[in-house]
Amino acid sequence: MNFLPSYRATRFLRRAAVALIVASLALLAYPFAGRVNFAVAQLPILAPTITPPAVTPSPVPSTEGTVTLAAWLAAQQKPQPTQPTPTPATTPIPAGNLLEIPSIGVRMAITQGLDSKAALRQGAWLIPGTPTPDRGGNTVLGGHRYLYRPPSAKTFYNLDKVKAGDAITVTWQGKIYNYKVREVKIVEPYQVEILENSNENILTLFTCTPLFTSKQRLVVIAELQQ
């Protein structure tokens, strides 16, 4: 039998079907063609335009009543005043440099140095410029009110419980200095006269108050006992 005519007829029908489908799709899409063209035309308008920010020159500062930049640069090039050679943040604590307040259970090392934060972490800080007990005058020690779990023997947490007449002992380079509390008071931070030297041999302790604030200073002054 001859199958060739039948094959040709089948191929023709397939092509006709494909053409019919394409034509149908074209007819369906035609109503939307205008919308598509309009949307494509709008893309440059709808897309956000990114433009680099305008660079505005920095204003030249007025020289009236101020130091000019040239003068400032010249000042930076001038040799600066020689500063005193700083001591380490905390000098090693000599054996036996201790502060003891039996009435509140304090027994803490006495530290020295220009870095107050580092010195106060280790104990009672001998304020720079104030004399050591062996030199006489006003020995001033500052301490943290709260640093370790309270109450701690290494802080002034309970310093507000010290009363006139309480004993304080300072051991400095192997020698013991006994003091008796003369006064307990609260001062403002600007009242720095507590740091001034004195003709008397006294010990001044201070810390922040009220507890957990630095609003004021709690001060204890004790006299050296002969």
Residues of the chain with pLDDT under 50: 1-5, 32-94
pLDDT tens for residues 16-62? Answer: 776 767 666 665 555 544 444 433 333 333 333 334 444 444 443 44
pLDDT at 50: 36
- Rounded Cα distance between 70 and 78, Å, is 13
* Residue 125 pLDDT: 95
Q: List the domain boundaries for the chain.
A: 98-224
- CA–CA separation, 97 and 170 (whole Å): 7
The CA distance from 141 to 206, in Å, is: 7
**Phi, psi (5° rounding) for residue 178?**
-100, 130
Beta carbons within 8 Å of 214's beta carbon, 6+ residues apart: 189, 208
- To which residue do tokens 């380079």 refer? 173
Q: What is the CATH number of domain 98-224?
A: 2.40.260.10
pLDDT value of position 208: 93
